Amino acid sequence: MNPVLPGSVIGVLGSGQLGRMFAIAARRMGYRVHTFSPDSDTPTGQVADVEIAAAYEDLDAVRRFASQVHVVTFEFENVPSATAAAAAALAPVRPAGEVLHITQHRLREKQFLSRHGFPVARFRHIRNGAELPAALAELGCPAILKTAGFGYDGKGQVKIETAGEALAAWQRVQPAEAVLEECVDFACELSVVAARGQDGAFAHYGAVENRHARHILDVTTAPAEAPPAVAAEAVALARGVLDALQVVGVLCVEFFWTRSGKLLINELAPRPHNSGHFTFDACVTSQFEQQLRAVCGLPLGSTEQLRPAAMANLLGDLWRNGEPDWVAATAMPNVKLHLYGKLEPRPGRKMGHLTALAASASAAREAALAARAALAREPVAART
């Protein structure tokens, strides 16, 4: 367990905004960063030392990439398992490819969680459309049909309100296989971003509250406005998941907090997470530096949160009336602007985020929403 020390090269599979912020943290600590993805002039590539544009299926290119770095990590989970295996033959891959294999596939993920005793909503494996009516009869309507693999931000899923919608739902999703989940009556969504070191050390950023719009994370408030016992239970469950998966790195556990007071695990993300972006500005050690520390075998850093915070996503929709008013938003001294360097704003595309710091979590949320409204030249009331 010799640590990978500053001056070494970190390889990142993926090249989006998570890799960009990871690369910023790594370069600040004296590491070099190589990124690998099918694209060029990417958010990560703009700040990395080396950007390699090649298909993930080009395993020869993957091996060349891995031979030039000291450790490999991920910035998104939809990397083919063969890619992770090819890289692992030449450099340590953290978290391990097995973690990626489980968490990139909804069915494998839910089966893993259920098998290890973690609380999840009731679900059924659907292999073809003919199996759907019986599963709906068992779980009841409404229910959610989701593709088994490669879905995020609400993609690859449809809500079934009545049994008569089963065939249309299957044809709309058109999966090779799917997962049917019962609908959960939840009060809010919470998440815990946590890290686990090679030695099993654990660090977390507490429970945060997430609000979504169009199935995309809209606003995160940290800490969550939840009872201490609920927040502590969420952290304990997150630790159990990281230990069960033997994660080396950062992982986010997303929860439904039901109206009856139960926590159910919704999804896992084996890398830094959108709901942890506030840590870049509000915590002693950001989730990105924590990922670096974990995969390099360094001691985990303090996760102390210096002030309550909120994060508001900036989607491409903000550009619908022209360039956002950056001056108006940056005029607010307690708000930080992060842009990802993406070349083309599109509706629903994450282009950046705002982080606001305040004396309370609710005040931070109001400040973040006010700053976003100023960007769009809209009244604050239209955004809350």
Q: What is the pLDDT of residues 304-334, one digit of tens each?
A: 999 999 999 999 999 998 999 999 989 999 9
pLDDT band at residue 93 using 50, 70 and 90 as cut-offs: very high
**Domains plus CATH for the chain?**
9-93 (3.40.50.20), 122-182 (3.30.1490.20), 186-382 (3.30.470.20)
C-alpha distance from residue 206 to each of 154, 190, 263 (Å): 25, 10, 15
C-alpha distance from residue 14 to each of 34, 35, 52, 97, 199 (Å): 10, 7, 10, 14, 26
Rg for the chain, CA atoms, rounded: 21
Q: What is the pLDDT of residue 143?
A: 94
HSE (side-chain half, CA atoms, 13 Å) at 152 = 15
Task: List % helix, strand, coil for the chain (3-state, nearest 5).
Answer: 35, 30, 35
Nearest to 211 by CA among 278, 311, 356, 288: 311
pLDDT digits (tens, 9 = 90+) for 151-181: 555 567 899 999 889 888 888 887 778 999 9
pLDDT band at residue 103 using 50, 70 and 90 as cut-offs: very high
Residue environment code for 73-88, b if the CB has 16+ CB neighbours within 10 A, otherwise e: bbbbbebbeebbebbe
Q: What is the pLDDT of residue 379?
A: 63
Nearest to 132 by CA among 83, 96, 165, 94: 165
More confident of the two residues 377 and 12: 12
Q: What is the pLDDT of residue 383?
A: 43
pLDDT, mean of residues 281-294: 98
Contact status, residue 326 vs residue 314, Cβ threshold 8 Å: no
* pLDDT over threshold 50, residue 12: yes
Q: What is the pLDDT of residue 1?
A: 72
pLDDT band at residue 6 using 50, 70 and 90 as cut-offs: very high
pLDDT digits (tens, 9 = 90+) for 356-367: 999 999 999 999
Listed range (202-216, 331-345, 367-381) with the worst mean pLDDT? 367-381
User: Mean pLDDT score of the chain, rounded to an integer?
Assistant: 94
pLDDT digits (tens, 9 = 90+) for 67-80: 999 999 999 888 99
C-alpha distance from residue 250 to each of 9, 95, 98, 230, 276 (Å): 19, 8, 15, 22, 10
Dist. CA 293–CA 3, nearest whole Å? 9
pTM: 0.94
